[in-house]
Amino acid sequence: MVQTLEEYYPQGQEFLLRNLEVTSARHARAGDLISVLWIVLGAAGVFIPLENAFNKTWRFPEHRPYWKNQVVGFLLTSACCGLAVLFVVVTAGLHGLVDRFVAEGFAAHALRHVVLRTVALFVSIAAIFLFYRFLPNGRVRSADVLPAALLAGLVAELVRYLYLLALPYLDLQWSQGPYYVSIGFVLLAYVEAFVLVGGGFLAVPEEEKAVEAPAPEPTA
């Protein structure tokens, strides 16, 4: 988990990891499941604007009622949490195999890095597939959204890499002060949202994108 956060959180990793260690230790002792529930419910709210965007992309005329959107968002959030746990378990298991069979050194470090990035990419694609498949308020075929999810996952990884290259030149710590860590992550999420919506547009079948051309006016 530490390696993942260092790899994917744009900046301020030391601050994040230090506070995460303290917070997780406190909640592990307290066993505060109510706080976890509120976090999951709050995270579900992000799917409301995404559903609206996907409905417009797929030309579904009606949006879900708020309570249904919360149910779908809660289920998708829970599924993403499950994918995150799966990611940690699979990555840790593969890292254990690398540590067991490969001597410590450059090769072992490179293999662990490849394992982390590869598993993270597949988990990201799986999450995007779930968004495309279940967020729009209408019938969506898995065969239509799977290629778009694959492409969106790859493009999202490329965009993240380019963003990390450009981030030092933004000098957020000077302009945003103590909020630069959160702002850096929000900007990344903002940029990745365009990738997500763009991939959703590509998932729409061509017959759904077609717009009837206006009939030509009769000539005299």
pLDDT tens, 140-199?
Answer: 889 889 999 999 999 999 998 898 888 888 888 788 887 777 888 888 888 888 999 888
**pLDDT over 90 (residue 133):** yes
The H or E element containing residue 187 is: helix 180-203
Residue-averaged pLDDT of the chain: 81
Let me know: does 5 contact 11? Beta carbons within 8 Å.
no
Look at residues 37, 35, 34, 43 and name the one whose alpha carbon lies nearest to residue 72.
43
- Domain layout of the chain by residue ranges: 2-18+33-207
* HSE value, Cβ hemisphere, 13 Å, CA-based, for 46: 13
What's the pLDDT score for residue 30?
Answer: 54
The total number of residues shown for the chain amounts to 220
Q: What is the pLDDT of residue 215?
A: 47
Residue 9 has a pLDDT of 65
